[in-house]
Amino acid sequence: MTAGDLSAIPREARPYQGTTAGLLTRLIASAIDAVTVVALLVVIYLGVNGVRFMAHPVAFSFSDLSVILSVIAALALLVVYLTFSWFVTGRTYGDHVMGLRVVRRSGARLRFLAAFVRAVLSAVFPVGLLWCAVSPARRSVQDVVVGTAVLYDWRARPEFPERGPAAEGPPAER
């Protein structure tokens, strides 16, 4: 009996664990991330206005929403959110919901620079995700450029190989 037999992953999902994820799952995860970032933006906007209200309650009015500023803020927040999510845990909230994990091609966790570049590419060129539908290895443009892969991984606490040169070998069997 292997350790995987005792995992909390349902039997029907076990064969998919560790394989690269397809377009639909990744689109849903990206949509969840987009909603998350928008919700964060709204919270930040309300927080900033709340502080302004407490500072000047009489002359308070909601700050104007510049479209360009909002888009830039959304992209900046998206990049920060994606970078730290992929660097720290290998998954964003959308990835967590959909049971995905972003790793290097060696199976190791992303380095900070790789996570940042991938986040920037995902923010400014989201259409690149569609390439994973036609890619034999299910790799998006971001995956090809940065050298990453998106795997099905339903485990709550994924085990990464050690960072560094030793992590360049093949990943542990999943």
Partner 1 sequence: MQQQPRSEVTSLEPEILHLLDVAVEVSGHGVAKAAALGRRMGSVGRPVLQLMLRPPVVSRTHQPGTWLDDLSRQGGLRRAELARRLGSVLDVVVPGLVEQVLRRLDATGLIHTYVDLDEVITEVDIEAVVSRVDLVTLVKEVIDELDLPEMVRESTSAMASESVRGLRMHSISGDDAIGRAIARVRSRRVVDGTLTPPDGSPGPAGTTLP
Judged by CB under 8 A, does residue 11 bind partner 1?
Answer: yes
Cβ closest to partner 1, residue 20 vs residue 122: 20
Could you tell me how many residues make up the chain?
174
Q: Does 1 bind partner 1 (CB under 8 A)?
A: yes
The answer to whether the CB of 99 falls within 8 A of the CB of 158 is no
Backbone angles phi, psi at 147, to 5 degrees: 80, 50
Q: Which residues, 114 to 173, sit near partner 1 by CB under 8 A?
A: 132-138, 149, 151-152, 154, 170-171
**Residue 12: count of CB within 10 angstroms of its CB:** 7
Helix (H) or strand (E) holding 36: helix 23-55
Name which of 13 and 72 has its Cβ closer to partner 1. Answer: 13
CB 159 within 8 A of CB 17: no
99 binds partner 1 (CB under 8 A): yes
Nearest in space to 20 (alpha carbons), one of 107, 82, 118? 107
Q: What's the one-letter identity of residue 91?
A: R
x/- letters, 22..61, toward partner 1 (CB under 8 A) = xxxx--x---------------------------------
Residues touching partner 1: how many (CB under 8 A)?
41
| 110 binds partner 1 per the rule CB under 8 A | no
Give residues in contact with partner 1 (CB under 8 A): 1, 5-13, 16, 18-25, 28, 97-99, 103, 105-107, 132-138, 149, 151-152, 154, 170-171, 174
